[in-house]
Structure 1
Amino acid sequence: MADEVGDDDAGAARSGNEPETSDSLKVFGAVVKAFRKRAGLTQEAFAPLVGYSVETIASIEQGRRLPPVGFVEKAEEILDAFGAIKNAARFVGRKPGLASWFRPWARLEQSAATLCTYENRFVPGLLQTPGYARTIFSGRIPTLEDEEIETLLIARVERKKVITERPRTIFSFIIEEHVLRRQTGGPEVMREQIAHLLDLCERRNVDIQIMPQSRGYHVGLNGPMQLLETPENKWYAYCEGQETGQLISHSQVVSTLQKRYARMRAQALSVEDSVSLLREIQGAL
């Protein structure tokens, strides 16, 4: 997906990568809602049966969220929907704001059991504040219209909900120190961004580690990467470059990237030391 904003929206606002409209999402949500009501289930009763939060169910039924991998099968089975939910899912498109090459990963991301991210260019997209993201979007080449920037910001905010809506998902982030010392958007934007990171560090399911500048060499220098474990314990990886992204399912390649990530966690600062460094950087702004 190769974007300058953090792993998801590059090029999505341009016609070449423009996702489908949200009409198909709304239709899919209406189908799920109809069969849920036919089964006599409230959203509160339905949510634990499919293994997702009430907020996620509401978002899907309102056409505001792509159904996570696994939801379709579970909903179809529980609601005895005669194949209607599966068929509707075939035509589901993503709301504007996600690049075409990133959409398969974004769909996996929404139901991940574990999600690991190493980033050496910018704060990862899932962790960005609106001010930070707007700064990056506004500086893109080719330049974007104001409306396009707003579309990307809406998609970013929607995607970030995975952290708060999935408290049982384990999130691990490794970020290069220079990314946090670069005053992207100026001191005020970075103070807000670092404060947001510190808030996230308090969540039991989120680990943020900093790769210190003093670390002369580490095994992640080949570039950013993401690793993901599905609820079925299948692992995938995602890597990106300029205007492209690669979803990797080959077990041997994924295993190699897992080993690199594990070594990076040992080479980075501990979670506690990373929090101390974040506070130091924040105080210097």
Structure 2
Amino acid sequence: MANARRHAAWEYFGEELKRRREDAGITQAELGHRVFVSGGYIGQFEQAIRKPQLDVAQRIDEVLQTGGFFERLWKKLIKEQGFADYFEHVAELERRAVKICDFEPAVIPGLLQTTAYSRALMRTANPLATDEYIEEMVRFRSNRGLILEDATRPMYWAVLHESVLRVAVGGPAVMADQLDRVARMAREHKILVQVVPFSAGSYPFMGKMMKLMEFEDAPPTVYTEGVRSGTLLDDPAVVKRVREEYDLLRAVALPPETSLTLIESAAEDYRRCASTT
């Protein structure tokens, strides 16, 4: 029900965009050119297929002279998605990306998490929160992961440190299911996954998560995260350096098939442990 309401709200955004654009006598192609996206994207905004970035909404306001209407509506709709302030834009960028490269040194990436795994992480971080709050946060995270099940999904490449496989978040049964999901998605060719083994020693991005996103019509962006904070980096020189480091990271990781064998072996170990408790 909540998802339907949010979609209806974005449909309203699109309807208003179309109405005000047509009232101004501007075509989709013309508006797209003036706000630095394609005319096709304007059409997708109007049909609520895609959601614009904040800066695009702001430029639409400028071109259509709508007094900040679309900026205010965008902020309201994004806020209702339930993400932390520093992550709102990242969640939107994930939906627009044609390629996503994740590195996680400690946990399964959010886009790959099962609900049980997410729930265990959320509860650990919020021990006094209500069950309703936890379930809402889990739902938001699960919804993010749907982009990898879609026919138009981005190319997704995850590199995990072996410690991600060895820390039993939620217990053995939860971990078995979580690692099974990662392996299944890789076997179904929906994702690529590699593991940096303990034996690799030091490695690029040591101890730091990193998300590199590439787009059809915008420069690539890097996202990094700290304690209750996140940073988007789009300086071309910085992004180029991160890409180089990610290539080095993949070089020290196990090959995909060997990584999958390790993941499936860890899942089986957890399954045996769960069956004896």
TM-score (norm 1): 0.73
Question: Per-residue deviation at 1:57?
Answer: 9.4
Question: Per-residue deviation at 1:196?
Answer: 0.3
Counterpart among 174, 181, 193 of residue 178 in structure 2: 193
Question: Per-residue deviation at 1:204?
Answer: 3.0
Q: Quick one: percent identity of the two aligned structures? A: 25
Relative distance call for 1:96 and 1:170 in structure 2 (3 A) is closer
Match of 2:104 in 1: 119
Alpha-carbon distance in structure 1 between the residues aligned to 2:257 and 2:98: 23
Alpha-carbon distance in structure 1 between the residues aligned to 2:264 and 2:164: 15
CA deviation profile, 1:92-127 (whole Å, cap 9, x unmatched) = 232342100111111111110111110012100000
Relative distance call for 1:142 and 1:195 in structure 2 (3 A) is closer
Corresponding residue SS for 2:241:
helix
CA deviation profile, 1:121-142 (whole Å, cap 9, x unmatched) = 2100000000000001111146
Q: Contact conserved, 1:68 with 1:110, CA < 8 A, in 2?
A: no
CA deviation profile, 1:197-216 (whole Å, cap 9, x unmatched) = 01110243410111111111
Match of 2:139 in 1: 154
Question: Per-residue deviation at 1:25?
Answer: 6.0
Alpha-carbon distance in structure 1 between the residues aligned to 2:165 and 2:100: 21
Relative distance call for 1:122 and 1:168 in structure 2 (3 A) is closer
Match of 1:131 in 2: 116
Alignment pair present for 1:29 and 2:14: no
* Rg larger in structure: 2
Match of 2:30 in 1: none
Match of 2:193 in 1: 208
Match of 2:73 in 1: 91
The one-letter amino acid of 1:143's match is L
Alignment pair present for 1:243 and 2:225: no
The one-letter amino acid of 2:159's match is I
**Number of matched pairs:** 239
Question: Per-residue deviation at 1:83?
Answer: 8.4
Alpha-carbon distance in structure 1 between the residues aligned to 2:260 and 2:110: 19
Alignment pair present for 1:175 and 2:157: no
**What is the RMSD of the two structures over their aligned residues, measured on CA atoms?**
3.3
CA deviation profile, 1:55-101 (whole Å, cap 9, x unmatched) = x998x47xxxx71559x89xx9xxxxx888x9546512323421001
Which runs of 5 or more structure 2 residues have no equivalent in the other structure?
23-38, 271-277
Match of 2:130 in 1: 145
Q: Contact conserved, 1:129 with 1:193, CA < 8 A, in 2?
A: yes
Corresponding residue SS for 2:221:
strand
Q: Contact conserved, 1:112 with 1:169, CA < 8 A, in 2?
A: yes
Relative contact order (C-alpha < 8 Å, sep 6+): which is higher? 1
Counterpart among 192, 198, 219 of residue 204 in structure 2: 219
Match of 1:275 in 2: 260
Structure with bigger helix share is: 2
Match of 1:259 in 2: 244
Alpha-carbon distance in structure 2 between the residues aligned to 1:169 and 1:83: 34
Question: Per-residue deviation at 1:167?
Answer: 3.5
Which runs of 5 or more structure 1 residues have no equivalent in the other structure?
1-20, 40-48, 77-81
Deviates more, 1:254-263 or 1:141-150: 141-150
Alignment pair present for 1:67 and 2:67: no
Q: Contact conserved, 1:117 with 1:173, CA < 8 A, in 2?
A: yes
TM-score (norm 2): 0.75
Alpha-carbon distance in structure 2 between the residues aligned to 1:166 and 1:240: 29
Q: Contact conserved, 1:238 with 1:246, CA < 8 A, in 2?
A: yes
Alpha-carbon distance in structure 1 between the residues aligned to 2:184 and 2:207: 30
Question: Per-residue deviation at 1:193?
Answer: 0.3
Alpha-carbon distance in structure 1 between the residues aligned to 2:182 and 2:189: 13
Question: Per-residue deviation at 1:50?
Answer: 4.5
